[in-house]
Amino acid sequence: MLLVVILGVHLWLANFGQASSSLRAVLGVVLLGLALFHGLNGVRTVIFDFNIGAQGHKFTTMLLLLLGVVSLLFGMYGLWPLIVGG
């Protein structure tokens, strides 16, 4: 629910651009974190449906967690000019 609301604000700001840099930075980081968690958790659920066993569950979770952290850091790097107030 929160993701849909923040995504709506994100699309609105992308088109009409009426917000301070700090608000955009906070929204950007929150949206990035929520989208990555929701998306990668969804991928995890789809993979789990293929009966991959307990070891497979652990491996998939760790791999997706790593991918999520790397993507989050990379995305925050992209948002850096906003975060530092550019």
Partner 1 sequence: MTRRIARLFGRGGDLNPRNMRLGVWAWLIQRISGLVLVVFVVAHVVAISQASLVTKGPLFTLLDGLRNPFWYVDRTALAVDLLMLGIIAFHGMNGIRIVLFDTGIGVGLRSHKVIFWIVIAIAVVASGLVIYYGLPMLGGT
Closer Cβ to partner 1, 8 or 56, answer by number:
8
Per the structure block, which two tokens stand in for 85? Answer: 């107030």
Tell me how many helices (H) and strands (E) the chain has: 4, 0
- Name every residue whose Cβ is closer than 8 Å to that of residue 61 and which is 6 or more positions away in sequence: 44
Residue 45 CA, distance from chain mean position: 17
Residue 71 Cβ vs partner 1, minimum distance, rounded to whole Å: 6
Closer Cβ to partner 1, 15 or 55, answer by number:
15
Which residues contact partner 1 by CB under 8 A? 1, 3-4, 7-8, 11, 14-17, 21, 24, 32, 35-36, 39-40, 42-43, 46, 71, 74-75, 77-82, 86
